[in-house]
Amino acid sequence: MNTRTDDLPGDPMTAPAPPGASPTRAPHQDVTTGHKDAGRVGAGLFDPRQVLKSLPDAFRKLDPRVMVKSPVMFVVLVGSVLTTGFSLADPGDWFGWAISAWLWLTVVFANLAEAVAEGRGKAQADTLRKAKTDTVARRLGAEGRYEERVPGTDLRIGDLVVCEAGDIIPGDGDVVEGVASVDESAITGESAPVIRESGGDRSAVTGGTKVLSDRIVIKITTKPGETFIDRMIALVEGAARQKTPNEIALNILLASLTIVFLLAVATLQPFAAHAGADLSMVVLVALLVCLIPTTIGALLSAIGIAGMDRLVQRNVLAMSGRAVEAAGDVSTLLLDKTGTITLGNRQAAEFVPVAGTTEAEVADAAQLSSLADETPEGRSIVVLAKEEYGLRERHQGELTGADWVAFTAQTRMSGVDTDGRRIRKGATGSVLAWVLEQGGTAQPDADAAARRISEAGGTPLLVAVEDAEGARVLGVIHLKDVVKDGMRERFAELRRMGIRTVMITGDNPLTAKAIADEAGVDDFLAEATPEDKMALIKREQAGGKLVAMTGDGTNDAPALAQADVGVAMNTGTSAAKEAGNMVDLDSNPTKLIEIVEIGKQLLITRGALTTFSIANDVAKYFAIIPALFAAVYPGLDTLNIMRLSSPDSAILSAVVFNAVVIIALVPLALKGVRYRPVSADKLLRRNLGIYGLGGLIAPFIGIKVIDMIISTIPGIG
């Protein structure tokens, strides 16, 4: 959210927007293909080809050095080795072999969940690697006096390179000279070219993209091997994923539960020996594996990878899992007004005459004075005069001998001198100063109209003329910020999520308040400077809140770095992209709302499956404990409420269910639990009702069905 010209207090006019800006894509467009819905989670959940490709990785992950990172599944791996060893010692024991086989499958299924999640990222990374080519750079020598051709890998930070039409940009950098049209489809998937130019917030270029027109000089800002594409490849394939604080905390909890159950199972052997029961090591291992929270232990990593993958599908690159997780806990959202809440270009809505003039006179003068104004606002004035007042659209070439005054950010006015008249249109302060310079006087009704427009959330422009009657104001043009459709509803959803929204704008407080009221945001910060943004973020964080914001300019970099979730626009400067912990490849500021929803979905999915995992252990107690001790303590048979056919069948059914439920829940872990914007207490009740109660009931049904199948096998039932 850089401080734009059109957001400056009292400055209603803008420099022309760069043409060819990349259009915003529809949601779910794949980052590497550019095709809508390509690579969506729902389209490829457990695609057989993806599963087959991921199987080798699942077996490679059986390496104990890899498995030890997941304490729960490491215990299952050790148990698998132990039961296999005891089965080898007694080859005729079918029960030991069956338990061993299903324990190995439990480990493989857990690894497969992670491998499938990583596999989709690797497919995207392969496509990105194709876009990464070895290029020859035209590096400028001392003071730009000569060029030398060097491999792109030899470029260093600070080098200046020249790129012309047809050249591949050799490295990440900022345009320091010139303007060019660039094809960034290799990065964003968007076929429409974008404009990159020096001196603004659209100066960043990415290595591997192609210059389509003109000539630019680029200052390299990254080392070889650390370019944006290199970072994207590492992130989307999961190589750079680090566990988040919540994920680490949950791992510690699961490890603690595993130790508790390990101690509990270890004490059963002497207890059983005293009671006269015979508990083999295979049975004890099966009991331990069924009691520890294997379901969430198996799916935890896949949930984290899938959360980042969902962002990638929406063309958002998260630099860390911590950022995705933080997005789910965000309580304050800072949103730029222009381009996020409003359409970005203010439109002329009406002409307000002062005493002694008519609307038609104001419209005629406004249209003439706007012919030299190429800003969107200027063009909208010409169109309004044509459509509402029947004035045909005129052009500068039609008025011979006219002197045109083009709009500039310094004068904040445009106009024309023709036929003995001097007409000016622009910001109220600039035009009024011009009138006074020509010997005219201020007009109270013009000031009243301008104030009324400002209080309504609009931006007033004055139209003035100097002719034989002297210098005077003819009227006021009402420029209106158009709030995007559906914004009020989206902010209401965020409010239900417990998120406070703050609109950031450079407009004066009156205008800012009117737009904030229309859009439905909770608060606003008017006449904002970069320092104001930083101060606001720090105040919110001091109150224990997590803050998210978007930005694209160098002056946004400090605030992006300070925010807990800083989303930099891909069209922005290198400084902004380095400071943020996410990059939106579509450069769509409203994407921040989706990012928060994805973060919350990640946290909800993790919580829901943890609840399910712990709840479904209850049924296993009723399956295994009676099977172990019913022969010694017949009274325990009353706990066999599922009426399982035999002790061996009961234990084996619990182990089989324990493995099968992992593979059954992988699609949910990858897709994520559906998020609805409701209060925390309602969300807790919903999760307990669906995943707590469901986790309690499902194993009773599943274990009973598996037992019925096993009991039909000769020699087992």
Catalytic residues: 336
Pairing of strands 500-504, 470-480: unpaired
Q: What is the C-alpha to C-alpha distance for residues 134 and 229, in angstroms, rounded to an integer?
A: 13
Any idea which residue has 């999961």 for tokens?
A: 238
**Taking phi first (over 0 means left), then psi (-120 to 50 degrees means alpha), and beta for anything else, what does residue 350 get?**
beta
Tokens 């069905």, residue located? 705
Tokens of 191: 């076929």
CB 628 within 8 A of CB 279: yes
Q: Which helix (H) or strand (E) holds 335?
A: strand 332-336
Place of tokens 């457990």: 46
Compute the distance between CA of residue 524 and CA of residue 499 in angstroms, rounded to an integer.
Answer: 14
Tell me the C-alpha distance between 10 and 527, whole Å: 10
d(CA 279, CA 268): 8
Task: Judge whether 408 is annotated as a binding position.
Answer: yes
Q: 651 with 286: CB under 8 angstroms? A: yes
Nearest to 625 by CA among 641, 601, 614: 641
Decide: residue 543, CB within 10 A, 0-12 exposed, 13-18 middle, 19+ buried. Answer: exposed
User: How many angstroms separate the CA atoms of 25 and 19, rounded?
Assistant: 17
d(CA 683, CA 677): 9
Token digits for 550? 């978007």
Q: Is 412 annotated as a binding residue?
A: yes
Cβ atoms of residues 334 and 536 within 8 Å: yes
- For residue 323 the two structure tokens come to 């950022």
Q: How many other CB atoms are found less than 10 A from the CB of residue 524?
A: 24
Residue 622 annotated in ligand binding: no
- Sequence-distant (6+) residues with CB within 8 A of 103 are 76, 79, 80, 83, 285, 286, 289, 655, 659
**Residue 586 in marked binding region:** no
Cα–Cα distance, 312 to 122 (Å, whole number): 12
Rounded to whole angstroms, the Cα distance separating 506 from 537 reads 17
Residue partners of 684: CB distance under 8 A and separation at least 6: none
467 annotated ligand binder = no
Q: Tell me if 552 is assigned to a ligand binding site.
A: yes
Query: In this structure, are residues 550 and 335 in contact, taking their beta carbons and an 8 Å threshold?
Result: yes
Instruction: With beta carbons less than 8 A apart as the criterion, state whether 462 and 493 touch.
Output: no
Which class for 508: exposed (0-12), middle (13-18), buried (19 or more C-beta within 10 A)? middle
Contact 409, 420 (CB under 8 A): no
CB atoms under 10 Å from CB of 449, counted, come to: 20
Bridge partners, residue 148, by sequence: 139
* 41 to 116, 569, 667, 668: CA distances (angstroms): 11, 24, 9, 10
Q: How far is CA 653 from CA 37, 74, 386, 646, 663, in A?
A: 40, 22, 79, 10, 16
Please give the distance of CA 219 from its chain centroid, rounded to a whole number: 28
Structure tokens belonging to residue 713: 């096998």
Using CB atoms within 10 A of its CB, is residue 491 exposed (0-12), middle (13-18) or buried (19+)? buried
Q: Is 373 annotated as a binding residue?
A: yes
Asked if residues 16 and 374 have their Cβ atoms less than 8 Å apart, the reply is yes
198 labelled as ligand-binding?
Answer: no
* 507 annotated to a ligand binding site: no
Sheet strands (E) in 371-432 = 403-405, 413-418, 421-427
Tell me, rounded to whole angstroms, the distance of Cα 382 from its chain centroid: 39
204 contacts 572 by C-beta, under 8 angstroms? yes
Rounded to the nearest 10 degrees, how much is the dihedral formed by the CA atoms of 483, 487, 488, 489? 150
Binding site as annotated, residues for Mg(2+): 552, 556
Binding site as annotated, residues: 373, 377, 407-414, 425, 552, 556
Binding site as annotated, residues for ATP: 373, 377, 407-414, 425
